[in-house]
Amino acid sequence: MKLRSLNKYHNNKTITVKIYSSEVFWVTGGLIRDAAKACKVNISWNISYNKRRHKVNPKYFFLKKSKRYGDLNLFIGHSIYFQNKTASMNENSVVIIFQIQNQSEFKDQSKINLLNSSAKIIVQNQTVKKFLIMAGVNPCLIEVFPGAVDRTRYFPSSAKKNFVLISGDFKPRKNPESVLRVIESNTDIDFVIHGKNLDFFRNYEKRNHNLKLIEWKIALQPKLMRDAGVFMNLSLLEGGPISILEALSVGTPVIATDTGFAKELIKNEFGSVVPINFDSCAIRNDLDKWLNYSKSHVPIDFLNGEFSFTDYGLVLFD
Protein backbone atom coordinates (compact mmCIF):
# COMPACT_ATOMS: atom_id res chain seq x y z
CA MET A 1 0.00 0.00 0.00
CA LYS A 2 1.15 3.56 -0.69
CA LEU A 3 0.64 4.40 2.95
CA ARG A 4 3.80 2.51 3.87
CA SER A 5 5.74 5.35 2.24
CA LEU A 6 4.87 7.40 5.32
CA ASN A 7 7.82 5.70 7.04
CA LYS A 8 10.07 8.34 5.46
CA TYR A 9 8.84 10.81 8.11
CA HIS A 10 10.93 9.36 10.92
CA ASN A 11 12.43 12.38 12.65
CA ASN A 12 9.28 13.85 14.19
CA LYS A 13 7.04 12.55 16.97
CA THR A 14 3.48 13.24 15.92
CA ILE A 15 1.15 12.28 13.11
CA THR A 16 -1.88 14.42 12.48
CA VAL A 17 -4.97 12.71 11.11
CA LYS A 18 -7.55 14.99 9.55
CA ILE A 19 -10.96 13.34 9.44
CA TYR A 20 -13.61 14.45 6.96
CA SER A 21 -17.16 13.42 7.84
CA SER A 22 -20.68 14.78 7.51
CA GLU A 23 -21.51 13.84 11.09
CA VAL A 24 -20.02 12.46 14.29
CA PHE A 25 -20.97 8.84 14.90
CA TRP A 26 -19.35 5.60 16.01
CA VAL A 27 -16.68 5.62 13.32
CA THR A 28 -15.35 9.12 13.97
CA GLY A 29 -15.73 8.60 17.70
CA GLY A 30 -15.27 5.24 19.35
CA LEU A 31 -13.94 3.09 16.54
CA ILE A 32 -10.98 5.26 15.56
CA ARG A 33 -10.22 6.19 19.16
CA ASP A 34 -10.23 2.58 20.34
CA ALA A 35 -8.28 1.39 17.31
CA ALA A 36 -5.58 3.93 18.16
CA LYS A 37 -5.64 2.82 21.80
CA ALA A 38 -5.31 -0.84 20.84
CA CYS A 39 -2.24 0.04 18.78
CA LYS A 40 -0.79 1.85 21.83
CA VAL A 41 -1.24 5.26 20.24
CA ASN A 42 -2.13 8.07 22.62
CA ILE A 43 -4.89 10.13 21.11
CA SER A 44 -6.41 13.51 21.81
CA TRP A 45 -8.56 15.61 19.53
CA ASN A 46 -10.28 18.91 18.99
CA ILE A 47 -13.53 18.39 17.06
CA SER A 48 -15.36 21.25 15.40
CA TYR A 49 -18.77 19.83 14.50
CA ASN A 50 -21.68 21.39 12.65
CA LYS A 51 -24.94 19.41 13.03
CA ARG A 52 -26.06 20.26 9.52
CA ARG A 53 -25.36 16.99 7.74
CA HIS A 54 -24.58 18.62 4.38
CA LYS A 55 -21.95 20.85 5.93
CA VAL A 56 -18.64 19.00 5.89
CA ASN A 57 -16.19 19.92 8.62
CA PRO A 58 -12.79 18.32 9.13
CA LYS A 59 -12.06 16.69 12.48
CA TYR A 60 -8.47 16.67 13.67
CA PHE A 61 -6.98 13.76 15.58
CA PHE A 62 -3.46 14.06 16.98
CA LEU A 63 -1.79 10.68 17.27
CA LYS A 64 1.41 10.69 19.31
CA LYS A 65 3.96 8.03 18.45
CA SER A 66 7.70 7.56 18.73
CA LYS A 67 8.01 8.07 14.96
CA ARG A 68 6.18 10.28 12.54
CA TYR A 69 4.54 8.44 9.69
CA GLY A 70 3.14 11.60 8.12
CA ASP A 71 -0.15 13.43 7.82
CA LEU A 72 -3.18 11.31 6.99
CA ASN A 73 -6.49 12.38 5.48
CA LEU A 74 -9.29 10.01 6.52
CA PHE A 75 -12.60 10.30 4.64
CA ILE A 76 -15.77 8.71 6.03
CA GLY A 77 -17.72 7.90 2.87
CA HIS A 78 -16.92 8.18 -0.85
CA SER A 79 -19.23 11.20 -1.34
CA ILE A 80 -17.24 13.16 1.26
CA TYR A 81 -14.07 12.19 -0.58
CA PHE A 82 -15.44 13.35 -3.93
CA GLN A 83 -16.45 16.72 -2.43
CA ASN A 84 -12.93 17.49 -1.20
CA LYS A 85 -10.85 17.19 -4.35
CA THR A 86 -8.00 19.36 -3.12
CA ALA A 87 -7.54 17.45 0.11
CA SER A 88 -8.22 14.05 -1.40
CA MET A 89 -5.64 14.34 -4.22
CA ASN A 90 -3.08 13.05 -1.81
CA GLU A 91 -1.33 9.69 -1.60
CA ASN A 92 -1.85 9.75 2.19
CA SER A 93 -5.65 9.69 1.93
CA VAL A 94 -7.70 6.76 3.22
CA VAL A 95 -11.39 6.35 2.34
CA ILE A 96 -13.82 4.28 4.45
CA ILE A 97 -16.88 3.13 2.49
CA PHE A 98 -19.84 1.45 4.20
CA GLN A 99 -22.27 1.15 1.35
CA ILE A 100 -22.85 2.49 -2.15
CA GLN A 101 -25.85 4.80 -1.89
CA ASN A 102 -25.51 6.51 -5.26
CA GLN A 103 -24.15 4.20 -7.96
CA SER A 104 -24.35 6.91 -10.62
CA GLU A 105 -21.40 8.69 -9.00
CA PHE A 106 -19.16 5.85 -10.15
CA LYS A 107 -19.98 6.42 -13.84
CA ASP A 108 -17.77 9.49 -13.70
CA GLN A 109 -14.25 8.39 -14.64
CA SER A 110 -12.72 11.40 -12.91
CA LYS A 111 -14.12 10.12 -9.60
CA ILE A 112 -12.74 6.64 -10.23
CA ASN A 113 -9.37 8.24 -10.91
CA LEU A 114 -9.70 10.14 -7.64
CA LEU A 115 -10.28 6.92 -5.71
CA ASN A 116 -7.32 5.33 -7.46
CA SER A 117 -5.14 8.21 -6.25
CA SER A 118 -5.85 7.34 -2.59
CA ALA A 119 -3.52 5.33 -0.40
CA LYS A 120 -6.13 2.84 0.75
CA ILE A 121 -9.86 2.17 0.59
CA ILE A 122 -11.45 0.32 3.52
CA VAL A 123 -14.82 -1.24 2.73
CA GLN A 124 -17.31 -2.94 5.02
CA ASN A 125 -18.15 -6.00 2.92
CA GLN A 126 -17.30 -8.00 -0.19
CA THR A 127 -20.31 -6.65 -2.07
CA VAL A 128 -18.93 -3.11 -1.94
CA LYS A 129 -15.50 -4.36 -2.97
CA LYS A 130 -16.90 -6.18 -6.01
CA PHE A 131 -18.86 -3.09 -7.05
CA LEU A 132 -15.79 -0.84 -6.81
CA ILE A 133 -13.68 -3.25 -8.87
CA MET A 134 -16.39 -3.45 -11.54
CA ALA A 135 -16.43 0.37 -11.61
CA GLY A 136 -12.69 0.45 -12.30
CA VAL A 137 -11.14 0.93 -8.85
CA ASN A 138 -7.74 -0.73 -8.40
CA PRO A 139 -8.39 -3.91 -6.33
CA CYS A 140 -4.94 -3.62 -4.74
CA LEU A 141 -6.11 -0.49 -2.91
CA ILE A 142 -9.16 -2.15 -1.32
CA GLU A 143 -9.18 -3.78 2.11
CA VAL A 144 -12.30 -5.51 3.46
CA PHE A 145 -12.73 -4.95 7.17
CA PRO A 146 -16.27 -5.18 8.58
CA GLY A 147 -15.52 -3.57 11.94
CA ALA A 148 -14.04 -4.18 15.33
CA VAL A 149 -15.09 -5.06 18.85
CA ASP A 150 -13.51 -3.68 22.02
CA ARG A 151 -12.62 -6.91 23.78
CA THR A 152 -11.90 -5.12 27.04
CA ARG A 153 -15.65 -4.43 27.26
CA TYR A 154 -17.19 -7.21 25.16
CA PHE A 155 -16.19 -10.66 26.37
CA PRO A 156 -18.00 -14.00 26.80
CA SER A 157 -20.01 -14.54 29.96
CA SER A 158 -21.52 -17.56 31.66
CA ALA A 159 -24.63 -15.51 32.39
CA LYS A 160 -27.62 -16.01 30.15
CA LYS A 161 -31.15 -14.76 30.50
CA ASN A 162 -33.92 -15.68 28.12
CA PHE A 163 -34.64 -12.25 26.76
CA VAL A 164 -34.25 -10.85 23.26
CA LEU A 165 -32.14 -7.69 23.07
CA ILE A 166 -32.81 -5.02 20.45
CA SER A 167 -30.73 -1.84 20.42
CA GLY A 168 -30.18 1.31 18.41
CA ASP A 169 -31.53 4.72 17.55
CA PHE A 170 -35.11 4.01 16.47
CA LYS A 171 -35.44 6.26 13.50
CA PRO A 172 -37.36 4.93 10.47
CA ARG A 173 -34.44 2.90 9.08
CA LYS A 174 -34.42 0.83 12.29
CA ASN A 175 -37.88 -0.44 11.27
CA PRO A 176 -39.72 0.21 14.57
CA GLU A 177 -43.11 -0.87 13.17
CA SER A 178 -41.84 -4.34 12.32
CA VAL A 179 -40.00 -4.61 15.62
CA LEU A 180 -43.24 -3.89 17.47
CA ARG A 181 -45.16 -6.44 15.37
CA VAL A 182 -42.66 -9.13 16.36
CA ILE A 183 -43.01 -8.21 20.03
CA GLU A 184 -46.82 -8.18 19.80
CA SER A 185 -46.81 -11.60 18.10
CA ASN A 186 -44.69 -13.22 20.81
CA THR A 187 -46.13 -12.17 24.14
CA ASP A 188 -44.60 -15.20 25.91
CA ILE A 189 -41.07 -13.97 25.12
CA ASP A 190 -39.35 -11.14 26.99
CA PHE A 191 -37.86 -8.32 24.92
CA VAL A 192 -35.51 -5.55 26.00
CA ILE A 193 -35.02 -2.47 23.82
CA HIS A 194 -31.95 -0.44 24.70
CA GLY A 195 -31.69 2.70 22.64
CA LYS A 196 -32.79 6.19 21.68
CA ASN A 197 -36.09 7.54 20.36
CA LEU A 198 -38.16 4.93 22.18
CA ASP A 199 -41.46 6.83 22.33
CA PHE A 200 -42.97 4.64 19.60
CA PHE A 201 -42.89 1.67 22.00
CA ARG A 202 -44.01 3.33 25.26
CA ASN A 203 -47.74 2.70 24.99
CA TYR A 204 -47.14 -0.99 24.39
CA GLU A 205 -44.72 -1.21 27.34
CA LYS A 206 -47.35 0.32 29.66
CA ARG A 207 -49.98 -2.24 28.66
CA ASN A 208 -47.87 -5.39 28.39
CA HIS A 209 -45.41 -7.30 30.51
CA ASN A 210 -43.04 -8.67 27.83
CA LEU A 211 -41.26 -5.43 26.89
CA LYS A 212 -38.76 -3.39 28.87
CA LEU A 213 -37.42 -0.09 27.52
CA ILE A 214 -34.01 1.19 28.60
CA GLU A 215 -32.76 4.61 27.53
CA TRP A 216 -29.41 4.38 25.80
CA LYS A 217 -26.30 4.34 27.97
CA ILE A 218 -23.23 2.95 26.27
CA ALA A 219 -21.92 1.55 29.57
CA LEU A 220 -24.95 -0.78 29.78
CA GLN A 221 -24.55 -2.30 26.33
CA PRO A 222 -21.74 -4.82 27.05
CA LYS A 223 -23.61 -6.45 29.96
CA LEU A 224 -26.88 -6.51 28.06
CA MET A 225 -25.13 -8.15 25.12
CA ARG A 226 -23.54 -10.76 27.40
CA ASP A 227 -26.75 -11.54 29.25
CA ALA A 228 -29.15 -11.70 26.30
CA GLY A 229 -30.28 -15.01 24.87
CA VAL A 230 -30.59 -13.48 21.39
CA PHE A 231 -29.68 -10.18 19.79
CA MET A 232 -32.12 -9.04 17.10
CA ASN A 233 -31.58 -6.34 14.45
CA LEU A 234 -34.43 -5.81 11.99
CA SER A 235 -33.18 -2.67 10.23
CA LEU A 236 -34.19 -1.68 6.73
CA LEU A 237 -30.74 -0.24 6.04
CA GLU A 238 -27.38 -0.64 7.75
CA GLY A 239 -23.82 0.31 6.97
CA GLY A 240 -22.71 -2.34 9.43
CA PRO A 241 -24.06 -2.80 11.98
CA ILE A 242 -21.30 -2.91 14.57
CA SER A 243 -23.83 -4.35 17.07
CA ILE A 244 -23.74 -7.70 15.22
CA LEU A 245 -20.01 -7.87 15.84
CA GLU A 246 -20.52 -7.03 19.50
CA ALA A 247 -23.13 -9.76 19.93
CA LEU A 248 -21.11 -12.44 18.16
CA SER A 249 -18.04 -11.43 20.14
CA VAL A 250 -19.73 -12.42 23.40
CA GLY A 251 -21.25 -15.62 21.99
CA THR A 252 -24.79 -14.26 21.67
CA PRO A 253 -26.61 -15.54 18.57
CA VAL A 254 -28.06 -12.97 16.20
CA ILE A 255 -31.25 -12.65 14.16
CA ALA A 256 -30.80 -9.90 11.59
CA THR A 257 -32.27 -8.66 8.35
CA ASP A 258 -30.23 -9.06 5.19
CA THR A 259 -28.67 -5.62 5.14
CA GLY A 260 -25.16 -4.25 5.58
CA PHE A 261 -22.66 -7.05 6.08
CA ALA A 262 -24.98 -9.27 8.15
CA LYS A 263 -24.88 -12.17 5.71
CA GLU A 264 -21.09 -12.16 5.64
CA LEU A 265 -20.83 -12.44 9.42
CA ILE A 266 -23.78 -14.59 10.46
CA LYS A 267 -23.40 -18.25 9.57
CA ASN A 268 -26.06 -20.88 10.23
CA GLU A 269 -24.41 -21.94 13.49
CA PHE A 270 -24.22 -18.36 14.74
CA GLY A 271 -27.70 -17.04 14.00
CA SER A 272 -30.24 -16.34 11.28
CA VAL A 273 -30.42 -13.83 8.45
CA VAL A 274 -34.00 -12.99 7.42
CA PRO A 275 -35.34 -11.00 4.44
CA ILE A 276 -36.05 -7.31 4.97
CA ASN A 277 -39.72 -8.01 4.22
CA PHE A 278 -39.83 -10.88 6.73
CA ASP A 279 -43.02 -12.45 8.09
CA SER A 280 -43.38 -11.35 11.72
CA CYS A 281 -44.95 -14.69 12.66
CA ALA A 282 -42.43 -16.83 10.77
CA ILE A 283 -39.60 -15.31 12.77
CA ARG A 284 -40.89 -17.25 15.79
CA ASN A 285 -38.99 -20.37 14.68
CA ASP A 286 -35.72 -18.46 14.79
CA LEU A 287 -36.53 -17.02 18.21
CA ASP A 288 -37.28 -20.46 19.62
CA LYS A 289 -34.14 -21.96 18.11
CA TRP A 290 -31.73 -19.39 19.46
CA LEU A 291 -33.36 -18.83 22.84
CA ASN A 292 -32.84 -22.56 23.43
CA TYR A 293 -29.23 -22.38 22.30
CA SER A 294 -26.66 -23.13 25.01
CA LYS A 295 -24.28 -20.17 25.08
CA SER A 296 -20.61 -20.92 25.43
CA HIS A 297 -19.10 -20.45 28.89
CA VAL A 298 -15.52 -20.64 27.65
CA PRO A 299 -13.46 -17.59 26.65
CA ILE A 300 -13.89 -17.98 22.90
CA ASP A 301 -16.43 -16.45 20.58
CA PHE A 302 -18.10 -16.82 17.21
CA LEU A 303 -15.65 -14.43 15.59
CA ASN A 304 -12.58 -16.45 16.65
CA GLY A 305 -10.60 -13.26 17.14
CA GLU A 306 -10.91 -12.39 13.45
CA PHE A 307 -12.01 -8.80 14.02
CA SER A 308 -10.39 -6.62 16.67
CA PHE A 309 -9.51 -3.02 17.32
CA THR A 310 -5.82 -3.86 17.00
CA ASP A 311 -6.40 -5.28 13.53
CA TYR A 312 -8.47 -2.25 12.56
CA GLY A 313 -5.84 0.14 13.87
CA LEU A 314 -3.13 -1.57 11.84
CA VAL A 315 -5.30 -1.27 8.72
CA LEU A 316 -5.99 2.42 9.42
CA PHE A 317 -2.59 3.62 10.53
CA ASP A 318 -0.15 1.23 8.85
pLDDT in tens, 82-132: 877 666 566 778 888 877 777 888 888 988 998 998 888 988 778 889 999
pLDDT-based confidence at residue 252 (cuts at 50, 70, 90): confident
Provide the pLDDT for residue 237: 83
Q: Which CATH superfamily is domain 163-291 in?
A: Glycogen Phosphorylase B; (3.40.50.2000)
Distances (CA, A) of 145 to 4, 29, 67, 243: 18, 17, 26, 15
Q: What is the pLDDT of residues 220-242, one digit of tens each?
A: 888 898 889 899 999 998 766 77
Q: Say which residue, 177 or 160, is predicted with more confidence.
A: 177
Pick from 63-77, 145-159, 210-224, 263-277 the range whose average pLDDT is largest.
210-224
Distances (CA, A) of 134 to 9, 51, 77, 213: 35, 35, 18, 44
Pick from 146-155, 200-209, 213-222 the range whose average pLDDT is largest.
200-209
148-162 average pLDDT score = 65
Instruction: DSSP for 261-318, please give it.
Output: THHHH--TTTEEEE-TT--TTTTHHHHHHHHTS----SS--TTTT-S-HHHHHHHHH-
Annotated domain spans of the chain: 2-149+307-317, 163-291
Provide the pLDDT for residue 238: 78
- Report the C-alpha gap between 164 and 258 in whole angstroms: 19
pLDDT-based confidence at residue 142 (cuts at 50, 70, 90): very high
Residue 139 has pLDDT above 70, yes or no: yes
Provide the pLDDT for residue 154: 65
- When mean pLDDT is compared across 4-8, 89-93, 169-173, 190-194, the lowest value belongs to 4-8
Provide the pLDDT for residue 307: 64
Provide the pLDDT for residue 74: 80
- When mean pLDDT is compared across 116-130, 221-235, 259-273, 286-300, the lowest value belongs to 286-300
| pTM > 0.75: yes or no | no
- Report the C-alpha gap between 247 and 301 in whole angstroms: 9
Residue 306 has pLDDT above 70, yes or no: no
